[in-house]
Structure 1
């Protein structure tokens, strides 16, 4: 059975990462991660490029409008309403997914857009994005190799610490399994490294 975009949900590590954000910021993180999954599903390889562009155009049109004008029938838009002041970052993610699938940039624009969306999430969280935030986001997304020491991030960005740490564990081929993964998330969530 084909997965529809309404069936998309966060992976268990992503759900745990979101829970490490302060309660008032959890919806921001959830919306960001779900949107990225939704856009990836819309731009899934093997689909007709015209259909991909039509699906992404719908999202692009939404993010060009103020959140007050968004349709009420799309649950993800309800979660993303708090992003109203940072809609441009969400729109850039749409453009990035389109460039990756129907363009020829190999994902460069998407990588930059995702890093900037994390910075926008930081601003919405009351955190001024700096080089440490950008570096952590780039390392999480596999755009940059990990630095000698993990960046130190404020508590509102603890989900980024977890996502980065789990991505680096996976890239290093560390043995996984649910229990080890859970313990790694606990350590990252509590200690930040």
Structure 2
């Protein structure tokens, strides 16, 4: 698991650090999968090869985790996702639609909302509708009203992702870091 977290971008690494210990591996697995899929489908790659690689992931994630090939660290990390594999398959479809299809980011963003709902279920059903609303605001599928939805502590990584996404890329790195700390520690 440490090898996977070391490959994550700083924002995802920080977000995962605010997850409860019981669900942290699930967050890391999700972030690592999304990064691997985005790398597989990055611009400049042959669309046919992208589709073949994404089909491999779709096929693996569609099977029970007991049938997954051994030796792939990311698949091993995704093993606990077995009851929520459909959310991971939807992410593969969303990445494919983003990079190969014509739908743009909408399908990927809908899949991200599904991933957050699955993570909430793994956390004991924490948050329900508030998690979906926060995820839709994070992805830009829904405009954010004045107040942020109150999310349970178990969904603190989503609080951080949503809050930084709504603030945009502007501002100094130091202020973004302080904002990330505030969101992670206080949840608002």
Q: CA deviation at 1:176?
A: 2.4
Alignment-derived partner of residue 169 in structure 1:
167
Q: Which residue number corresponds to residue 55 of structure 2?
A: 57
CA positional deviation for 1:128 = 4.6
Calculate the TM-score normalised by the size of structure 2: 0.91
**What's the C-alpha RMSD, in Å, of the aligned pairs?**
1.8
* Alignment counterpart, residue 9 of structure 1, candidates 7, 19, 26: 7
Alpha-carbon shift at residue 156 of structure 1 (Å): 0.8
The correspondence for 2:101, drawn from 83, 103, 118, is 103
Distance 1:157 1:7 in 2: 18
Q: What whole-Å deviation, never above 9, does each CA across 1:19-72 have from its counterpart, x for those lacking one? A: 111111111111111111111111112211100101101100111111111112
Q: Which residue of 2 aligns with 1:3?
A: none
Gaps of 5+ in 1: 1-5
Query: Is the counterpart of residue 127 in structure 1 residue 142 in structure 2?
Result: no
CA distance in 1, matches of 2:125, 2:176: 28
How far off its partner does 1:181 sit?
Answer: 2.6
Distance in 2 between the 1:44 and 1:115 partners? 22
Is there any run of 5+ residues in structure 2 with no aligned partner, and where? none
Q: TM-score, normalised by structure 1?
A: 0.89
1:182 equivalent to 2:155? Answer: no
Secondary structure of the residue aligned to 1:22 is: coil
* Alignment-derived partner of residue 187 in structure 2: 192
Quick check: 1:88 aligned with 2:86?
A: yes
Per the TM alignment, residue 85 of structure 1 is displaced from its structure 2 partner at its CA by: 0.2
Deviation beyond 6 Å, 4+ runs, structure 1: none
Give the Cα separation in 2 of the matches to 1:112 and 1:133. 13
8 Å Cα contact 1:21-1:158 kept in structure 2: yes
Distance 1:168 1:144 in 2: 11
Aligned residues: 185
Q: Is 1:78–2:73 an aligned residue pair?
A: no
Paired position in structure 1 for 2:21: 23
